[in-house]
Structure 1
Amino acid sequence: MTVQELHPGEVLRDRVQQHLRLIYGSALAEGDVPLLADELVGLMRLASVDHAPQQHINHWDQRDAIVITYGDTLQCEGEKPLHTLKRFADSHLSGSVSALHLLPFYPWSSDDGFSVLDYSSVNEALGNWADITALDECFDLMADLVINHCSARSLWFDNFLKNREPGAGYFKTAKPDDDLSAVVRPRTSSLLRAVEAVDGTRHVWCTFSHDQVDLDFGNPDVLKQFTAIVRQYLDSGVRIFRLDAIAFLWKVPGTSSLNLPQTHEVVRLLRTLVEHAREDAVLITETNIPNRENLSYFGNANEAHCVYNFSLPPLLLNTLVTGDCTYLKQWIMSMPPPQHGTAYFNFIASHDGIGLRPAEGLLSDEELDTLIRTMAGFGGHISYRALENGQNKPYEINISLFDALQGTVNGADAYGLQRFICAHAIMLGLEGIPGIYIHSLLGTRNDYARVEHTGQNRSINRHQWDLPELEEALADDQRHHGAVFAGIKNLLAVRRQQAAFHPNAVQFTLQLGSALFGFWRQSMDRRQSIFCISNVSDTPQMLRLAELNLIDAEHWQDLISGEVYSDRAQQFELKPYQTVWISNMASHTGVPQQ
């Protein structure tokens, strides 16, 4: 009997078994492979699956955009934060974005949620599972699968120390004399933490902090636990999964313990399971690593549906503070179009800092040093990672994006607002699905008080708004928040109507010099073209339409301003940081230039 002739349920079990053999190799007895496969299929409630996932399902289109937020970013006295978030989202975001990325909403002990105490519960300070499910009424829901580590104060870790279940054998250990010199890490703390267990001193592996102990997926029981967690999240309305810190998942002394083959195979296994459980489910890998390694998580269109486009934030930031798009243009030209069924996840700010590793090999050391000094001059902080030679190296810049693009440390230069809107216009036009951090949408500035309170550099961009104060700020014409909010929402409104902005529509980089960054998008049916051109400098730039090779027989119009271009020979001036989206389709919503 061929694979095609097998019942869909048998095909699924066969695929899961193949994944398990590649993950565990000889560490898992051959007789145990089908048993473990059946357990995983059962935990996902797929034992009676009677059909294979559709091969050409549309996971996304140009209407998709995701807002990234913590559950307690917006607060209102007397109300659970998840209720507050839903009220704000329903009122202000419905019809503008398609999904909410709710950062860890579980009970936690540190790192603003990424040291998880209990994956199956909602932090009571935020709300409950009904509140999570309620967000799914108007928006797709994206959640973090904090899969690499959990809290040192969790029940699992307490049981690990006591050799009880669940937890015994759940955490990665090593010996102090193991060869760990090649291990790649994003922090400066010691890798191993000595703990006292019932059987003596153990040394647990801590990639990120000593409160975040790495799980050992070499133990199949850990894989089973996370399979059950994924099923619970699906049942609660989660459609999109962010695989947090996935690149560090599998560890082997004597290696870098980064991007190991077993890690990639675990991603493939999770994809097999979730796409059978929900055909439109999406896996996004969060891998803050150099560009080439990041792209490897697409696999052969059989791993992540989307990868975080980590090189975009530092390259776009460098472009806008230098007024020169050379490095950004070189990178865009080198990026391969994603295979069918995959897409880039574009973002330029997040709850973390602006990563520097993804710019390695793309920006020169001199450019990186200049960018770091510039951002420090604008009020940013710098976080470091440890190298194998014992030295530390800058790992990320911690700063709000609004402050990063203001041009001075104590206020805005003449073009701070325009520069900020320009950054989002570029990101929203690019091939891929856009993710917008809520503090960028609101124009939030550096929160130094929160840094002092938490002692963490990343807190600078994790402000908590009182909702009545936020509403007042958005309505105040003398403050920038309302202009930022309206400007980005209007760009989103235009984007949603354009077939050429489909995440997988064709993209071609234009050669317009160093001060004009441009690219051409074409819809998959080839009916619509959009020329996206931004002046990335603080001086006016002339654009000659002849450089774009516009077709004379067609009607061309800037979708942002509404300006019509009737003379293909004409040239016009782009103001500092102005963006035009020149399209041959008339459908548009005008966006007032700031």
Structure 2
Amino acid sequence: MSVRNQVQLITYPDSLGGNLKALNNVLLTHFTDIFKGGVHILPPFPSSGDRGFAPKTYLEIEPNFGTWEDIRAIGENYDILIDVMVNHISRQSEYFQDFLKKGRKSKYADLFITLDKIWEDGKPKKEDIEKMFLRRPLPYSSYTIEETGEEEKVWTTFGKTDPSEQIDLDVKSEKVRELFTESFMNFKKQNVKIIRLDAVGYVIKKLGTNCFFVEPEIYEFLDWILELANSLDIELLPEVHSHYSIQYKLAKHGCWIYDFILPYRILDALFNKSSKDLLQYLKTRPHKQFTMLDCHDGIPIKPDLDDLIDTKEARKVVDVCLERESNLSLILSEEHKAHDGFDVHQIRCSYYSVLNCDDDAYLAARAIQFFAPGVPQVYYVGLLAGENDLENVRKTGEGREINRHNFTLEEIEKSLEKEVVQRLLKLIRFRNEYDAFNGEFTVLESAKDEIRLSWKRNEKNCTLLIDLKKYKSVIDYIDENGQASQYFI
């Protein structure tokens, strides 16, 4: 199995029509030649929170979404990418429910990280916790065991509730590895081609470290899971939000990585009408990446761009985003904030809205993404040029809902009538079908307010020129008759 160098869709199982059957019909009706790179279906499993990211099991599909048969049906025409939350599982899973009942006598007890696995006496120490990269005020939760009435403290990196709904798994445990093996073998049976390792940076807990991407222990786990995936002909995509140097280490390790730097770099170039930083970045980044502009979370800033951006300049970009009704996810750990207090983890918005619903600016952003080496992913809201869903944020109190609108079949039809969407589909077809994208990439000399990128393979070549003053984009290319042609995006 090798990942196709073509455009891929990211969607929730119920966001395009309401369920997996509807998703398949929408794909076959409207997008047969669009998502040749595949479909990333955000967690379709039974889950107790975080919109699928607190899975109860990987062996079943949430009945409201459909069945494995529906997944296999989509897989007949599209490579399927699915998430595995390698760091945690749901509090409502049969495994943790059994532990809650029987405590240490549960046959599943070893799946979890009770605090005596970290501190010998089971008592957390403040000075150790202060070193950690925290995603909630404390990295553990307390639970009462039904049969004994005893309190057990268990590691929980994530979770908005207390106690948390997302229970960390002990990846050193044989039982956890058996669980992953069984799940991966099922994925193979269901024709899943790529697995995204969600939150993999948090799997190693080690005192004296920040408990994030702990080296060298992380590589032992990665090598084990890579070997498992390779044996089943499945590709892996580790998802790590961290300092870019960690991403580059993963790339050196032969892994696919996410380009979490590109979305901000493009935004910055378009806002400030300056290509300098973006082009410098495109010259030096690894090529084996999945690229994105938008996703179910937000546009990454810290820690992904630490040491790459001036926080004063970043603050100006963030302020423009806020004027355009974005909201922010902030860093919790004091030591991971910038010296000047800059603490923006992600900007949450629709990418179309943050560009002021300017069709040309939006298509310029997509053109840069598609010309950057890597597998381009298009999030379903971005596909339909969806705007900030402020009403949903108000209704749920969840800032990420700004970019998680569920489209009815009628709304999809309506969105497809928009000129910007038709222009985007045409651009995706060009990216999918033009052979030069399988060749050599070059960042060409460009004026400060221009972007010039090119691809060349044999007699085919294409050059993207973007005028940042007017957001006009044009591709010069050699057509199938060997003639020089122009495509105004």
**TM-score (structure 1 length as normaliser):** 0.74
> 2-side partners of 1:160 and 1:589: how far apart?
67
Aligned pairs for 1:327-346 (under 5 A) are 327-336=277-286, 338=287, 343-346=288-291
Task: Give the one of 71, 88, 112 matched to 1:171.
Answer: 112
Percent identity, aligned pairs only, is: 25
**TM-score (structure 2 length as normaliser):** 0.90
> 1-side partners of 2:27 and 2:487: how far apart?
23
> 1-side partners of 2:452 and 2:226: how far apart?
35
Aligned pairs for 1:128-527 (under 5 A) are 128-161=67-100, 162-163=102-103, 165-174=106-115, 175-177=123-125, 179-185=128-134, 187-197=135-145, 198=148, 200-209=150-159, 210-260=164-214, 261-278=216-233, 281-301=234-254, 304=255, 306-336=256-286, 338=287, 343-357=288-302, 358-389=304-335, 393-406=343-356, 412=357, 416-475=358-417, 482-502=418-438, 505-523=439-457, 526-527=458-459
> 1-side partners of 2:154 and 2:87: how far apart?
13
| Other structure's SS at 2:331 match | strand
Aligned to 2:118: none
Aligned to 1:16: none
| Other structure's SS at 2:65 match | coil
Contact 2:46 2:62 survives alignment (8 Å): yes
| Other structure's SS at 1:452 match | helix
Which has the higher relative contact order, 1 or 2, with Cα contacts under 8 A spaced 6 or more apart?
A: 2
Task: Give the one of 458, 463, 472 matched to 1:531.
Answer: 463
> 2-side partners of 1:589 and 1:272: how far apart?
46
| Other structure's SS at 1:386 match | coil
The superposition leaves residues 420-477 of structure 1 with CA deviations (integer Å, 9 ceiling, x where unpaired) of: 01111111111111111011000111112221232211111000111123213423xx
Tell me which amino acid in the other structure corresponds to 2:140.
Answer: L
> 2-side partners of 1:89 and 1:166: how far apart?
43
> 2-side partners of 1:271 and 1:484: how far apart?
40
The superposition leaves residues 265-305 of structure 1 with CA deviations (integer Å, 9 ceiling, x where unpaired) of: 22222222222222xx211111111211112222432xx2x
**CA distance change for structure 1 residues 589 and 452 in 2, over 3 Å: closer, same or farther?**
farther
- Segments of structure 2 that go 5 or more residues without pairing to the other structure are 116-122
**CA distance change for structure 1 residues 205 and 385 in 2, over 3 Å: closer, same or farther?**
farther
RMSD over equivalenced CA pairs, Å: 2.2
How many Å apart are 1:390 and its aligned residue?
9.4
How many equivalent residue pairs?
465
> 1-side partners of 2:213 and 2:200: how far apart?
8
Contact 2:279 2:451 survives alignment (8 Å): yes
Aligned to 2:476: 582
How many Å apart are 1:253 and its aligned residue?
2.1
> 2-side partners of 1:431 and 1:83: how far apart?
33
Contact 2:384 2:415 survives alignment (8 Å): no
**CA distance change for structure 1 residues 362 and 399 in 2, over 3 Å: closer, same or farther?**
same
The superposition leaves residues 175-195 of structure 1 with CA deviations (integer Å, 9 ceiling, x where unpaired) of: 32261222113x344322122
Q: Which sits farther off after the overlay, 111-120 or 386-395?
A: 386-395
| Other structure's SS at 1:403 match | helix
Contact 1:352 1:458 survives alignment (8 Å): yes
**CA distance change for structure 1 residues 449 and 189 in 2, over 3 Å: closer, same or farther?**
farther
- Segments of structure 1 that go 5 or more residues without pairing to the other structure are 1-56, 407-411, 476-481, 540-575
Contact 2:9 2:39 survives alignment (8 Å): yes
> 1-side partners of 2:307 and 2:353: how far apart?
26
Tell me which amino acid in the other structure corresponds to 2:395.
Answer: H
